[in-house]
Amino acid sequence: MTVILDGKTVSERRIELLREAIDESGFSPRLATVLVGDDPASALYVRMKHQACERVHIGSINVTLPAGATTERVLETVRRLNADPEIHGILVQLPLPAGIDREAVIEAVSPEKDVDGFHPCNLGRLVSGQPLFAPCTPLGIMNLLCEYGITPGGQRAVVVGRSIDVGRPMAALLLNADATVTVCHRRTRDLGSVVRSADLVVVAVGQARFLTAEMVGEGATVVDVGTNRVEGRLVGDVDFEAVRERAGAITPVPGGVGPMTIATLMENTFEAARRLTCGSAP
């Protein structure tokens, strides 16, 4: 029987536990989001993050800048939030409009407030095995696997996709958890046979139903990061109905990785507030 890795239910439970922990802590965590431009999807993601903040009793503010804002204006905003002692976590919603220097903006966020985990310091710490903040999507996946008692240690893990926000940090987290990790991309030869050899597959390519049943080994754990709009519906990177027949465990889309990402952002923000309030060094 294939186990459905139900990120929605697990994230709800983690949100409840987090709210209790925050209420008991006496801290007042606050998250600041920075939204540049008027992309409707980005605006929706930012709204969802603020709704999650409300649920866990994290204060939140949003700074909206026009699509035509300069890199310098975005940097000024980030610097102001860095200097604000009432703000513990900063999230700049990506993607940024064309013309804004994404790397400069990411590097401007104080690593101690970088709850998205994209700052090179945080990515470097993750790769060195000493994470402070890890990116929310891959960390959420690790939490989801853990909740289902799936331990990556010793497993052959294949990550398809090598982006900075998902594929690369996912590979680092799995390696830190003692998996034997292979990372695939467009230049990977014979992708099907590489993926078929895996006990655990994480797919983050951004192409609807990219991973087919023939590419999956019997009993493998399959994690689908993809979010693709097809005829108005949200569809993952995995051909879910066919792959679930072969997989031992699989995440659905929607209701798998997405809700875990938001819950993990909340957990990272609480952790940032705890560290900044207690003054504990990383």
As a whole number of angstroms, the distance between CA 170 and CA 204 comes to 10
Q: In what order do the strands lie in the sheet with 3-4?
A: 3-4, 249-250, 221-224, 200-203, 156-160, 180-184
In the window 91-110, what residues touch ligand NAP (CB under 6 A)?
A: none
Of 64 and 188, nearer to ligand NAP (C-beta) is 188
Choose the stretch contacting ligand NAP; rule: CB under 6 A; options: 19-27, 63-71, 85-93, 202-210: 202-210
62: which strand partners?
A: 33
Tokens describing residue 166: 């998902």
Longest CA span, the chain:
54
Q: Does residue 226 touch ligand NAP according to CB under 6 A?
A: yes
Binding map of ligand NAP across residues 132-171, x = CB under 6 A, - = no contact: -----x----------------------xxxx-xxx----
> How far apart are CB 277 and ligand NAP at their closest, in Å?
28
Does 257 contact ligand NAP by CB under 6 A? yes
Distance, in Å, from the CA atom of 219 to the CA atom of 202, rounded to the nearest integer, reads 14
Instruction: Tell me: does residue 261 bind ligand NAP (CB under 6 A).
Output: yes
Closest distance of CB 73 from ligand NAP, Å: 25
* Piece of 49-57, 111-119, 145-153, 200-208 that binds ligand NAP (CB under 6 A): 200-208
Question: Catalytic residue numbers?
Answer: 49, 93, 116
Output b/e per residue, 106-132; b: 16+ Cβ within 10 A: bbbbbbbbbbbbbbebbbebbeeeebb
Contact 8, 147 (CB under 8 A): no
Instruction: Tell me the residue ranges of DSSP E strands in the chain.
Output: 3-4, 30-36, 59-65, 89-92, 156-160, 180-184, 200-203, 221-224, 228-230, 233-235, 249-250
Whole-number CA gyration radius for the chain: 19
- Contact between 258 and ligand NAP by CB under 6 A: the answer reads yes
The reply on whether position 250 binds ligand NAP by CB under 6 A is no
Closer CB to ligand NAP, residue 87 or residue 141? 141
- Segment contacting ligand NAP (CB under 6 A): 75-83, 123-131, 172-180, 223-231? 223-231
Q: Where along the sequence are the contacts to ligand NAP (CB under 6 A)? A: 137, 160-163, 165-167, 184-188, 191, 204-207, 225-228, 257-258, 261
